[in-house]
A and B are shown apart, each in its own frame.
Chain A
């Protein structure tokens, strides 16, 4: 994926499917891998989120290489909504809300990693299953923001796939 977001022209092409498979498998693997904690789900979420964090940090280092410096947090969040999201999903975040007190809500109406998912059973059940797949992107966002000097807590929510929202809480320094 790192090569895919380089924004260079001579980049090698990667099949989208492979990436999707990779992500899905990763989530599945994490949830299967045994952990000694009482709350295995939590551990798995933690691991995935960490993976995303690492990746987000590395990616943002690249993407912002040729950008002018950011002036404030809103700048940074906008960057996440636009450039970062495009680099990841070839689309922008559809809606950005904020309470101007350090909380931003990003809504993606057609989250790409959900676009090929479909579940049986009730909507609640599906969204619960899908939630596990939000750990990684949450980590991505957190990593990106963190590397840009904004320490945050990112919480994902999925009501009905493929729509999902990411709530970003900026930690008070």
Chain B
């Protein structure tokens, strides 16, 4: 739209001039300073408010349905309009834009130029508004002073008169131009309701004879300027309309003077009409038709000025028809009205002007139609315009280009003219559609035009004739518009009578931009044809071209020299014009403009969320890029749009895209991309059915291979291309299937890779796959099937089952091993190959087939088709299938259904825990000190070998389980058993049991020993083991793996056992003190206790009885029980002798058997000589060692152990007095006898003893009941008394209670002395000291 003169294109609004608002004038009137700047600010704001709408467009006005607004210009206060020239003027007085005026560019026969409109838009106001200040006295009038009041009144009157004169002056000046005039009087200070002021205003109005509609009062205070301006313009609008009506009338008058068109058609002489003829100009003046045209146009313009849209449309349409008629007449071969033949020749400036005018008028009509919600007539107008201008000579293609093929199919109708139209024509059409598109875009954007219009099924078939359809459409358009304001599209009702006339449907701008684009492209094509045609001819003289271009740029300097400028190619006479236009066409970047248009269209469709349409446009853009050699861009676009067509399975479209992008990539040398496209093009659906499609695909395959071979890339060694087949429609499909969802460790799991031709004819010819690589999630399982170059054509069938189960591990590069096998990989068209292999995983995992890649090599190059199985999404539609078949023809080969659906590409490997038991052989309870024997036996109950490690621990059931007194040890003839760490005697770890063959057992023997603390202990037997299968793919270096290093490989089984430990013997002791004087060894008899140095010893004699009881439950073998005396270095102990009394020393080597409950007893006599002075409390005596072992029948391998039983220590009492009591051995009933007490003073002090007899009822006695005695140090005395028993049996003797008193000094007082407790009794059987310290004797009956 911008390529046209703005005056033509813009919408006209009435022009209002305001004066008295420029600050320069403020200095003119001499008022109070205060008033002035207040007024200044007021004026400024007024001005801004007035000007605010100047750059608003027609659509804005329509959007907010407010009063039509003015375009406001500012006049100087002293501006004076030139007086209108009187009718019947001399040419000199004609307006300098009239053709009659020699100096006007239109002279002599121009029709119209933008300048004229410009004049009316800018310098010919319809209304002039003068702004004036009412003079107000600054000081308040005091009514008390009549004189002062009088004076001010006169002053006011004087001022008002001045103002009036000014106003009158202006009014007269504008009046004679027919310009409406109004004034605004601003009151700075006073109210509006001031009667005095009102009088003055009334006076002013009267004197200036202004009607009340043209005088406005603006109160400076509390003035809402916006409101004020709106009101003012509203009320002035009518007047401005009248102004333009006056113009209307004037022009109608002029027009009436012309002969009517019909008459003109009849008449032949242009001069016969009494038109104002220009004198003295040789050129032909404007013929009456031209004048008609001119006037009609002016009428239209003025109608538009007063916003009378209907009228404007009417006038513009007549203008348009006249203009077209004239132009046709000019070019028509003598047909049409002759009057115009002599002016408006093609290839002249006038002609160009006319064309511009035509375009603009057409534009106006379209715009106004749209403005009034009548899109359909607008569209029709466009069609009319194009068909009307088609046969303009400069549009007709060159004869030389006629043999060129016709226009492209989309726009053939536009192109049905001679030679398919010149590039000028296409440029022009493109502009027309572009402009229309822009208009539609505006209309939809600004006034919410709903498209498509009419909505589907709206037209009733009654009036579908194109002619009346228009009028009809207008009506429904309005109604539907009102309906549409609701927002939602109305439901289309297809009544039986409804009909649609597609050519009359207005759609959104995108469509028109697209047509424009294809036109622009057509233009490009035509231009190229023309160039081709030209190349043969000599190049055009440059002067012509340049001059031409200079020419038109001289005339319309204001027009941006857009390549779409409709004015090119017509500025000089015909022959050069072609060259010149060619010349200017050469430096047009066609591609850019096509793409620009396509992009505009793209945006429109995007806005309407038509994704696929945008894809189509994108492909168009890409195509244009490709044509213009911008392959990079083209490729980018192609790659972007390919996806959707692939997703929605539009192979034919995809094919085109692929072919084009392959082409681009080829030229760019991007061979990977080329290969990728070619691979997809191998799909049969990508080619058209039938043999030609097949041959086509053969060619594709050939090229693909050659590309791989690297022909084309200048260093002609092969290239390596990796194609992700899941991203495109491949010619070869690949599915995988594990037969079962899960398997056990070490159990072979079969899987199948099915390579299936996408269709019966793909690949077009048999190809040899050189390798099939199967990548697992665990690379140790990877398979590679290479082609055994055996010819497979012989057994080519539609499903070929290949056995790949027996693969061999071969190392590929650095240490990586894969299972590989050479099989027949010749792939026939339409066949499918099922490769069945197996994996036998060695440990638990989820094994996944992550990818299958098919390698086809050609030359050094290789093409790798990758199927990313791992990334595929689950499909639940298809049933799992398994091809059961063995290679030979006899076997039944068929697909069988498996459970589940989709593709089982994951294999769950379950570690089945091998069956393995731990058996313990031992005989609880264990005995302390013995080496308790435990046999741990591990039994492998599996059918396969098991490697096992054993951990044993021996814990007492204490808190931490550690105790130093127990340990475990193992048979040491097993060398592989590690030496147990010293710190822990209680555990042996990682005893390698080795590989236990199936159903075999391995046993280990352990000895547990604890030296103390009878009680329960726990033995833990932990076996870590795993199954070893020769076949399975096992973890790396399995033999070195131990539970410590690879716990994950091992199962763990624990068999704890609680073992009670009991003591082997229970010793019992009995100690008795022997009768005898402490010093005199005489009676000791056995040996002399007197030491050599003659010191005095204190002797202690004891008898110690020892009973060793075997609690069982086991029989023990005892070799010897021997006493070893403790060596004692206690000071004061002179000598200690311990001698076994009974001399039963058991020391036979084979030993004797102690059964459970057996008691072995010993008596020891202890004689200890002690220094009386020494403070010795006790003396260790020694221990009895028992060497024994458990008696195990028919085995004596177990070693002897020794249990030591410690004798109780000898207690030494330090009493100062002791008594030896001698009781006769035989006591008879009623026979008296004597009891002798011998008292010894052991201390070095004299002791007073008090003795009194405690009578008992068993005896009567004679002697002192109570007595006292004095006992010297280390002396002794004897006390005797006689008793007669009067009862029989065991009775208590009367006991002499001896207690040590203090010194003589306090003999008198009888305090309880210290009783002597050291009693040594000698007597018969059953006599002695009782538990309570009483004396016990046995009385026999009297023997007769």
Nearest chain A CB to B472's CB is how many angstroms away?
Answer: 29
* Interchain CB contact under 8 A, A36 and B882: yes
* Interchain CB contact under 8 A, A36 and B884: yes
Q: 11 additional contacts, CB 8 Å, given A36-B897, A46-B879?
A: A36-B882, A36-B884, A36-B896, A37-B896, A37-B897, A37-B898, A37-B899, A38-B899, A42-B899, A43-B897, A43-B899
* Those of B1136-1163 within 8 Å (CB) of chain A: none
* Interchain CB contact under 8 A, A35 and B896: yes
Nearest chain B CB to A136's CB is how many angstroms away?
Answer: 17
Chain B 862-899 interface 0/1 with A at a Cβ cutoff of 8 Å (1 = within): 00000000000000000100101000000000001111
Q: Which residue of B lies closest to A46 (CB)?
A: B879
Determine whether A39 belongs to the interface, using a CB cutoff of 8 Å to chain B. Answer: yes
* Those of B899-921 within 8 Å (CB) of chain A: 899
Nearest chain A CB to B502's CB is how many angstroms away?
Answer: 23
Name the B residues within 8 Å of A37 (CB-CB): 896-899
Name the A residues within 8 Å of B899 (CB-CB): 37-39, 42-43
Name the B residues within 8 Å of A42 (CB-CB): 899
* Those of A14-49 within 8 Å (CB) of chain B: 35-39, 42-43, 46
9 A-B Cβ contacts within 8 A?
A35-B896, A35-B897, A36-B884, A36-B896, A36-B898, A37-B896, A38-B899, A39-B899, A46-B879
Q: Which residue of B lies closest to A37 (CB)?
A: B899
Name the A residues within 8 Å of B879 (CB-CB): 46
Complex Cα spacing A39 to B882, Å: 15
Name the B residues within 8 Å of A39 (CB-CB): 899
Q: Which residue of A lies closest to B898 (CB)?
A: A37
User: For chain A, which range describes its interface: under 10, 10 to 19, 20 to 34, or 35 or more residues?
Assistant: under 10
* Those of B831-883 within 8 Å (CB) of chain A: 879, 882
Name the A residues within 8 Å of B884 (CB-CB): 36
* Those of A67-109 within 8 Å (CB) of chain B: none
Nearest chain A CB to B876's CB is how many angstroms away?
Answer: 10
Complex Cα spacing A36 to B898, Å: 7
Nearest chain A CB to B766's CB is how many angstroms away?
Answer: 32
Name the A residues within 8 Å of B896 (CB-CB): 35-37
Q: Which residue of B lies closest to A35 (CB)?
A: B897
Nearest chain B CB to A71's CB is how many angstroms away?
Answer: 12
Name the A residues within 8 Å of B897 (CB-CB): 35-37, 43
Interface centre among A35, A36, A43 (most CB of B within 10 A): A36
Complex Cα spacing A10 to B413, Å: 49
Complex Cα spacing A130 to B898, Å: 25
Complex Cα spacing A43 to B882, Å: 14
Complex Cα spacing A42 to B899, Å: 8
Name the B residues within 8 Å of A36 (CB-CB): 882, 884, 896-898
Name the B residues within 8 Å of A35 (CB-CB): 896-897
Nearest chain B CB to A171's CB is how many angstroms away?
Answer: 10
Name the A residues within 8 Å of B898 (CB-CB): 36-37
Complex Cα spacing A46 to B898, Å: 12
Q: Interface on chain A toward B: helix, strand, loop, or mixed SS?
A: loop
Q: Which residue of B lies closest to A43 (CB)?
A: B897
Nearest chain A CB to B495's CB is how many angstroms away?
Answer: 15
Name the B residues within 8 Å of A38 (CB-CB): 899
Complex Cα spacing A37 to B898, Å: 5
Nearest chain A CB to B491's CB is how many angstroms away?
Answer: 12
Nearest chain B CB to A64's CB is how many angstroms away?
Answer: 18
Chain A 106-121 interface 0/1 with B at a Cβ cutoff of 8 Å (1 = within): 0000000000000000
Complex Cα spacing A37 to B884, Å: 12
Name the B residues within 8 Å of A46 (CB-CB): 879
Complex Cα spacing A118 to B826, Å: 59
* Those of B1117-1150 within 8 Å (CB) of chain A: none
Q: Which residue of B lies closest to A50 (CB)?
A: B879
A-B pairs with lowest CB-CB distance, top 3: A36-B896, A37-B899, A35-B897
Nearest chain A CB to B896's CB is how many angstroms away?
Answer: 4
Chain A 39-66 interface 0/1 with B at a Cβ cutoff of 8 Å (1 = within): 1001100100000000000000000000
Complex Cα spacing A36 to B884, Å: 10
Q: Which residue of A lies closest to B894 (CB)?
A: A36
Name the B residues within 8 Å of A43 (CB-CB): 897, 899
Complex Cα spacing A47 to B879, Å: 10
Complex Cα spacing A37 to B879, Å: 11
Complex Cα spacing A38 to B742, Å: 14
Complex Cα spacing A8 to B899, Å: 42
Complex Cα spacing A135 to B288, Å: 91
Complex Cα spacing A38 to B879, Å: 14
Interface centre among B879, B896, B897 (most CB of A within 10 A): B897
Name the A residues within 8 Å of B882 (CB-CB): 36
* Those of B393-414 within 8 Å (CB) of chain A: none
Complex Cα spacing A39 to B896, Å: 13
Complex Cα spacing A79 to B898, Å: 36
Complex Cα spacing A46 to B899, Å: 10
* Those of B703-730 within 8 Å (CB) of chain A: none
Complex Cα spacing A35 to B880, Å: 12
Complex Cα spacing A39 to B879, Å: 13
Nearest chain A CB to B877's CB is how many angstroms away?
Answer: 10
Complex Cα spacing A55 to B898, Å: 24
Nearest chain A CB to B315's CB is how many angstroms away?
Answer: 49
Complex Cα spacing A43 to B884, Å: 17
Q: Which residue of A lies closest to B900 (CB)?
A: A37
Interface centre among B882, B884, B898, B899 (most CB of A within 10 A): B899
Complex Cα spacing A46 to B881, Å: 14
Nearest chain A CB to B934's CB is how many angstroms away?
Answer: 48
* Those of B34-80 within 8 Å (CB) of chain A: none
Nearest chain A CB to B196's CB is how many angstroms away?
Answer: 76
Nearest chain A CB to B505's CB is how many angstroms away?
Answer: 23
Q: Which residue of A lies closest to B882 (CB)?
A: A36
Nearest chain A CB to B881's CB is how many angstroms away?
Answer: 10
Nearest chain B CB to A170's CB is how many angstroms away?
Answer: 16
Nearest chain A CB to B725's CB is how many angstroms away?
Answer: 28
Nearest chain A CB to B993's CB is how many angstroms away?
Answer: 39
Nearest chain A CB to B738's CB is how many angstroms away?
Answer: 14
Complex Cα spacing A60 to B1306, Å: 138
Complex Cα spacing A35 to B899, Å: 10
Nearest chain A CB to B976's CB is how many angstroms away?
Answer: 46
Complex Cα spacing A167 to B882, Å: 32
Complex Cα spacing A29 to B216, Å: 102
Q: Which residue of A lies closest to B879 (CB)?
A: A46
Nearest chain B CB to A172's CB is how many angstroms away?
Answer: 14
Complex Cα spacing A37 to B899, Å: 6
Nearest chain A CB to B250's CB is how many angstroms away?
Answer: 63
Complex Cα spacing A38 to B899, Å: 7
Complex Cα spacing A39 to B897, Å: 11
Complex Cα spacing A42 to B898, Å: 11
Complex Cα spacing A66 to B898, Å: 41
Nearest chain B CB to A135's CB is how many angstroms away?
Answer: 15
Nearest chain B CB to A68's CB is how many angstroms away?
Answer: 12
Q: Which residue of B lies closest to A39 (CB)?
A: B899
Complex Cα spacing A92 to B941, Å: 65
Complex Cα spacing A42 to B879, Å: 12
Q: Which residue of A lies closest to B895 (CB)?
A: A36
Complex Cα spacing A36 to B899, Å: 9
Nearest chain B CB to A70's CB is how many angstroms away?
Answer: 15
Nearest chain B CB to A48's CB is how many angstroms away?
Answer: 13
Nearest chain A CB to B515's CB is how many angstroms away?
Answer: 33
Interface centre among A35, A37, A43, A46 (most CB of B within 10 A): A37
Complex Cα spacing A38 to B897, Å: 10
Complex Cα spacing A42 to B897, Å: 11
Complex Cα spacing A38 to B884, Å: 15
Complex Cα spacing A70 to B968, Å: 85
Nearest chain A CB to B880's CB is how many angstroms away?
Answer: 9
Complex Cα spacing A166 to B694, Å: 50
Nearest chain B CB to A40's CB is how many angstroms away?
Answer: 10
Complex Cα spacing A43 to B880, Å: 11
Q: Which residue of B lies closest to A34 (CB)?
A: B896
Complex Cα spacing A36 to B739, Å: 12
Nearest chain B CB to A69's CB is how many angstroms away?
Answer: 12
Complex Cα spacing A146 to B61, Å: 53
Complex Cα spacing A46 to B884, Å: 21
